[in-house]
Chain A
Amino acid sequence: MKRIAEASAVMAEAVKLCEPQVIPLYPITPQTHIMEELANHVNNGELKAKIIRTESEHSMMSTLIGSLLAGSRSFTATSSQGLALAHEVLPIISGLRLPAVIGVAARALAAPLNIWGDHSDVMDARDTGWIQLHCRNTQAVFDTTIQAFAIAEKARLPVMVIMDGYTLSHMFEPADILSKTEVSGYLPKFKIRYQLDTNKPMTFGPVGFTDTYMEFKHQLKDAHEEAAKIISEENKRYGKMFRREYGDGMVEIFNPSAKQVIICQGTTAETAKLTGACVIHVRCFRPFPFSQIEKACRGKDVVVVDRAYSYGAGAPLHMEVKAVVPQARSAVMGLGGRDIRLEDLQMILKSKEKELWVDNYGK
């Protein structure tokens, strides 16, 4: 059923349909609408879940360890400083191989304080062992959230479902909302491999000495390679059932015959489509779709749009792309909520600069 709704509410609706049993929450702009909607669903009796109102994102993320290990599907959401505060818990969750799903309304990191959208927060979390899926519109938020639970539970890895702060999180668009029966037809019942069980006592989170730690990290590397396949499979399975697919699940390529390519993530992709260039939307940043990007960029003029920066090195998406597309140029845009306009994207296509910080304010 088509509905016009804010992307945050749409994410909450998707979560509701996936029926998590535990939802820890803590407010932060611009994610708060997701939490508020979920609290409404629970308090109105539409979703039978336990809400845990925590005192910080660190605790919020930590409750997921307990609830998932005790055998309950769980969800939470955060942004920016919140994700940074919870950072310590992120590799613990992936190291324990827990299928957490969180929503991230991506936002800039202080200082100076800035509540608007960019990808600084999620790029800061890119090396924590989580799967990172980006959404370019409201419909994608709905579909990706539901797929995320299936992917997390199959890959036994945690997933971040990322939407641009404000430009998507607060965007009202029409979206097709599936029914409860449709979602339960797609999403298998929650299960994890190892669980806290008094009949079969196990120890979770032991000390890995120098003889095992590296092997466990290799396990995580292997799990991400496997996850790339699972993401594609789930995208295809979902597409078959509901007639909506997101490229091969890892990347979406629009207007592939065009000679120039814009590589980007999130809502920028929707604007970039209007340039007439080929647009590669990197839906999945971790695991990273190197081969798909390399193949789509052969012999082409490529510019990579980043909404984050790795200081002292370069723009993070561009750095990944450059590993397989040496000719790729870099455009840093939209930090701290600065607009990314059609004319700015047209300008970067024309530019020959290797790295360009697009200064378009008031122009």
Chain B
Amino acid sequence: MKAEKTKLTEGAVVVTPASTGANKTGSWRTYKPCLDQKKCIRCGICWNFCPDNCFMLKKETENKKYKHRFEINYDYCKGCGICAKECPVKAIMMQREEK
């Protein structure tokens, strides 16, 4: 996509913060982390160590023991496997990406 000169900001200033969302890095993935909500203890270590901020905090509706749950944002997950490696209860498994 070629940029139009007139639409470029002066001095290449990026005026829209937090705007790399269009770059869906999930397409890089060859292994996919799968989170077992039953095993998950909601410690947040995966959220903490994800280089791509792929652990989304959601309201828990099924498990009465917890108020929140994590869901993985596959749009950006590059499949590095840090979450699975660091999970203290082995609730995350890496599976071969099928598609």
Contacts and interface: CB of A to CB of B under 8 A. Distances in A.
Q: Do chains A and B touch in the complex (CB under 8 A)?
A: yes
Interface of A: 95-98, 156, 193-194, 201-206, 208, 211-212, 215-216, 218-219
Contacts of B9: 194
B2 A211 contact: yes
For the complex of A and B, 6 pairs with smallest distance between CB atoms: A97-B11, A203-B14, A215-B5, A201-B17, A194-B13, A212-B3
Contact of A203 (B5, B10, B13): B13
A156 B5 CA distance: 17
B12 interface: yes
Contact of B13 (A204, A212, A215): A204
B1 interface: yes
B15 interface: yes
A219 B2 contact: no
Contact of A216 (B1, B4, B8, B17): B8
B12 A202 contact: no
23 contacts: A95-B11, A95-B12, A96-B11, A96-B12, A96-B13, A97-B10, A97-B11, A98-B11, A156-B10, A193-B10, A194-B9, A194-B11, A202-B15, A202-B17, A203-B17, A205-B12, A206-B14, A211-B2, A211-B3, A216-B8, A219-B5, A219-B8, A219-B10
Given A204-B14, A212-B3, 13 more contacts: A96-B13, A97-B10, A156-B10, A193-B10, A201-B17, A202-B13, A202-B17, A203-B17, A204-B11, A208-B12, A211-B3, A212-B8, A212-B12
Interface string B68-87: 00000000000000000000
Contact of A194 (B1, B4, B8, B15): B15
Given A201-B17, A202-B17, A216 B12 contact: yes
Contacts of A211: 1-3
Contacts of B8: 212, 215-216, 219
Nearest to B4: A215
Contacts of A203: 13-14, 17
Interface of B: 1-5, 8-15, 17
A52 to B, nearest CB: 23
Nearest to B14: A203
A208 B11 CA distance: 11
A95 B1 CA distance: 22
Nearest to B1: A211
Contacts of A212: 3, 8, 12
A261 to B, nearest CB: 38
Contacts of A206: 12, 14
A154 to B, nearest CB: 13
A215 B11 CA distance: 11
B1 A218 contact: no
Nearest to A206: B14
Contacts of B5: 215, 218-219
Nearest to B19: A203
Nearest to B11: A97
Contacts of B12: 95-96, 205-206, 208, 212, 216
A98 B2 CA distance: 26
A278 to B, nearest CB: 40
A189 to B, nearest CB: 20
Contacts of A215: 3-5, 8
A48 to B, nearest CB: 28
B3 A194 contact: no
A121 to B, nearest CB: 25
Nearest to B15: A202
Given A215-B8, A216-B8, A202 B14 contact: yes
B20 to A, nearest CB: 10
